């Protein structure tokens, strides 16, 4: 009884008495930090941010989802390169682990962390370490394995599936990503309309060159010691890798709403985002979107949707015919399309030669660019080497047959429970099936796109897959009635 009274007293009156001293102490600490310099201030802010994330790790995941389009944003500060999105996800993961350790030491709670497809990943990562050891640059290759390969697993799969453990958190994570995708769509549309020209190829991209120059000029003038290292703001990939999964995640959002007006509004947003994506005139995006739409039409959509599409087919043909003509011109008449095709063909041929010379274990993680750079003919025609253009090319050259096989075993281990759940939901409950299926299709869309591009280890590929795994876990009967409301 006395303990209860004391507890109430401390929770009430004593907190009011402690408030003013706490605020004064905080102010004094802040003034001391400011007097000691920027570095101390940055360290204190980082510490405060980590403590905050330790208490609310889901906020870190929401921030990761929101800033996911900024995969290419890399800063440098006094020789140190900092990937912005990996920094946020990394601090969140660190805070999450520290929180688990705190609860274990001071509360006696067991540490329980879920590691999706752990054994297959360890095999894949082990082969990456072995390939690094045998490569021409062991330390550099090993650093790449830890910094890139281990990071995508821990920061975007493990962290997400452990923190997003309620439907409310899932909904907020999905909305954070969608808000970011919509902002990107509006910025891209504005840039396109502002810089549209009938005399040259016009297609949607995040910022055109004039916009980029203005932005990078502002940064260099005002933040000379913290400047953009790789401002890929004109990259199509920045747009495509965000909007491809966003279309299907928008479809998934309809699961959370019963109001028909909100669902119709979501449909309009989907049409807008799809138009922006198509207007980017990306070959990979068109291939991926076409394939996933066919899958959606045949296996996921209901009969009434199929009827509407069939009735609208003549109109759709009229709309898409001039777009198809423009895409054909891009690939055959414009230098950007022709040069891209030639570059891909030549890099594929060089990649095959690299694979033939190291077929079992590859040349080492991160070493493809170095190998490609050794080819003088490529450098003369296309300039500095770029990373492998596709998952198959990347894995076969850097990790060999063993690494390539282990990677796809790892992916299959991740999607096996997804396919099993989809089959179960299809028989039991269409709403559950629809949510899981469209989220899975969103991941599949970006996975197909990366067969032709370079973001195989980026969060944009693995975070959408984490959303699928989370959704399936939460909407299964095993979890549906016992989840903690948050």
User: Of 113-117, 366-370, 415-419, which gets the smallest average pLDDT?
Assistant: 366-370
The pLDDT of residue 292 is 92
pLDDT computed for residue 30 by the predictor: 60
Q: In what order do the strands lie in the sheet with 80-83?
A: 80-83, 74-77, 227-228
Q: Residues 53-94: pLDDT tens digits?
A: 888 899 999 999 999 887 767 766 666 667 788 889 999 999
CA 253 to chain centre: 18
Token digits for 251?
A: 């479809």
User: What integer pLDDT is reported at residue 32 of this predicted model?
Assistant: 60
Please tell me the predicted confidence (pLDDT) of residue 187: 83
* Residue 93 backbone class (left: φ over 0; alpha: ψ -120 to 50; beta: rest): alpha
Let me know if 406 is exposed, middle or buried by CB neighbors in 10 A (0-12, 13-18, 19+). Answer: buried
For the stretch 423-433, pLDDT in tens is: 989 888 888 89
**pLDDT at position 48, please?**
79
Nearest to 449 by CA among 234, 289, 295, 330: 289
pLDDT recorded at residue 319? 84
According to the model, what pLDDT value does residue 238 have?
Answer: 78
32-36, 89-93, 193-197, 334-338: range with highest mean pLDDT? 89-93
Reported as a single tens digit per residue, the pLDDT across 218-269 is 444 444 344 343 344 445 677 888 899 999 999 888 877 778 888 889 989 9
Q: What is the pLDDT of residue 24?
A: 53
Alpha-helical regions (H) of 201-334: 209-222, 236-253, 260-279, 283-295, 303-332
If you search the block for the tokens 């009967």, which residue do you land on?
477
Q: What 3-state class would DSSP assign to 76?
A: strand
The residues facing 83 across adjacent strands are 74
356: its two tokens:
């033939």
Q: Which one, of 395, 387, 388, 390, lies nearest residue 362 by Cα? A: 395
With a CB cutoff of 8 Å and minimum separation 6, the contacts of 335 are none
Calpha distance 44→38 (Å, rounded):
10
Determine, yes or no, domain membership for 402: yes
Torsion sign over Cα 352, 357, 363, 367: negative
Contact 422, 384 (CB under 8 A): no
Give the total number of structural domains in the chain: 1
Q: Give the whole-number percent of the chain exceeding pLDDT 70.
A: 77
Is 8 a residue whose pLDDT tops 60?
A: no
| pLDDT tens-digit map of 120-166 | 999 999 999 999 999 988 999 998 899 889 999 999 999 999 999 89
* Distance separating alpha carbons of residues 214 and 375, to the nearest angstrom: 35
From CA 380, how far away is CA 360, in angstroms rounded?
A: 30
On whether residue 39 sits in a domain, the answer given is: no
Question: Between helices 236-253 and 283-295, what is the axis angle to 10°?
Answer: 20
Highest mean pLDDT among 132-136, 277-281, 405-409, 446-450: 405-409
Which of 117-126, 330-339, 380-389 ranks highest by mean pLDDT?
117-126
Region of 133 please: left (phi>0), alpha (psi -120 to 50) or beta. alpha
Domain containing 196 equals 58-300+334-480
Both tokens assigned to 436: 């899981």
Q: What's the mean pLDDT in 345-369?
A: 87
**Taking a C-beta distance cutoff of 8 angstroms, is the pair 290, 449 a contact?**
no
Does the residue 327 lie in any domain? no
Cα(7)–Cα(1) distance, rounded to whole angstroms?
A: 10
- Beta-bridge partner residues of 81: 76
The pLDDT score that the predictor gives to residue 485 is 38
First-to-last alpha carbon distance for the chain, in angstroms, is 31
HSE (side-chain half, CA atoms, 13 Å) at 173 = 28
Residue 4 has a pLDDT of 46
DSSP state of 75: E
- Identify whether the C-beta of residue 336 lies closer than 8 Å to the C-beta of residue 102: no
Structure tokens at 10: 């401390």
- Tally: H helices and E strands in the chain: 22, 3
Structure tokens at 304: 């009434």
What mean pLDDT comes out for the span 184-206? 66
Does 2 reside within a domain?
A: no
294 within some domain? yes
Q: Can you give the pLDDT at residue 6?
A: 43
Give the whole-angstrom CA distance, residue 162 versus residue 237. 29
C-alpha 237/C-alpha 247 separation (Å) is 15
SS3 83: strand
On whether residue 375 sits in a domain, the answer given is yes
For the chain, give the mean pLDDT.
79
| CA distance linking residue 124 with residue 402, whole number of Å | 9
pLDDT for the residue 159: 95
Residue 4 in domain: no
The answer to whether the CB of 421 falls within 8 A of the CB of 480 is: no
Per-residue pLDDT at 389 exceeds 90: no
All residues at 6 or more sequence positions from 21 whose CB lies less than 8 Å from its CB, including other chains = none
Residue 43 confidence (pLDDT) above 80:
no
Residue 128 lies in a domain: yes
């Amino acid at each position: 009884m006395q303990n209860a009274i004391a507890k109430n007293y401390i929770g009430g009156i004593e907190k009011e008495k402690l408030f003013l001293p706490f605020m004064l102490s905080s102010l004094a600490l802040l003034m001391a930090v400011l007097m000691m310099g920027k570095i101390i201030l940055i360290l204190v802010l980082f510490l405060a941010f980590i403590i905050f994330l330790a208490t609310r790790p889901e906020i870190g995941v929401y921030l990761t989802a929101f800033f996911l389009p900024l995969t290419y944003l890399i800063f440098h500060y006094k020789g140190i390169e900092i990937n912005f999105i990996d920094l946020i996800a990394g601090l969140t993961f660190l805070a999450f682990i520290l929180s688990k350790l705190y609860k274990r030491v001071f509360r006696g709670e067991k540490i329980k962390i879920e590691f999706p497809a752990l054994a297959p990943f360890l095999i894949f990562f082990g082969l990456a370490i072995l390939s690094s050891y045998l490569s021409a640059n062991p330390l550099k290759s090993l650093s790449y394995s830890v910094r890139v390969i281990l990071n995508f697993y821990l920061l975007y799969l493990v962290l997400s599936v452990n923190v997003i453990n309620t439907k409310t958190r899932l909904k907020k994570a999905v909305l954070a990503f969608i808000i970011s995708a919509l902002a990107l769509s509006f910025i891209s549309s504005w840039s396109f309309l502002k810089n549209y020209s009938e005399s040259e190829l016009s297609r949607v991209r995040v910022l055109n060159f004039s916009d980029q120059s203005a932005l990078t000029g502002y940064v260099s003038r005002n933040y000379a010691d913290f400047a953009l290292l790789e401002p890929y703001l004109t990259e199509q990939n920045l747009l495509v890798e965000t909007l491809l999964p966003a279309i299907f995640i928008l479809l998934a959002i309809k699961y959370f709403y019963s109001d028909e007006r909100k669902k119709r509004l979501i449909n309009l947003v989907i049409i807008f985002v799809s138009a922006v994506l198509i207007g980017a005139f990306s070959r990979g995006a068109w291939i991926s979107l076409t394939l996933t739409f066919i899958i959606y039409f045949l296996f996921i959509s209901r009969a009434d949707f199929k009827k509407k599409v069939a009735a609208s087919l003549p109109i759709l043909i009229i709309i898409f015919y001039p777009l198809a003509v423009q895409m054909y011109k891009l690939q055959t008449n414009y230098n950007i399309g022709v040069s891209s095709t030639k570059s891909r063909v030549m890099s594929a041929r060089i990649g095959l030669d690299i694979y033939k010379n190291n077929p079992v274990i590859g040349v080492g993680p991160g070493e493809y660019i170095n190998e490609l750079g050794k080819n003088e003919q490529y450098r003369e025609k296309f300039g500095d080497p770029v990373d492998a253009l596709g998952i198959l090319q990347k894995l076969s050259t850097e990790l060999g047959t063993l690494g390539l096989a282990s990677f796809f075993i790892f992916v299959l281990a991740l999607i096996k429970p997804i396919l099993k759940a989809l089959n179960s939901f299809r028989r039991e409950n269409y709403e559950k099936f629809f949510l899981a299926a469209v989220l899975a299709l969103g991941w599949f869309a970006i996975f197909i796109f990366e067969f032709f591009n370079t973001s195989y280890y980026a969060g944009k590929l693995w975070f959408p897959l984490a959303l699928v795994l989370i959704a399936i876990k939460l909407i299964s009967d095993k979890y549906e009635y016992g989840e903690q409301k948050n």
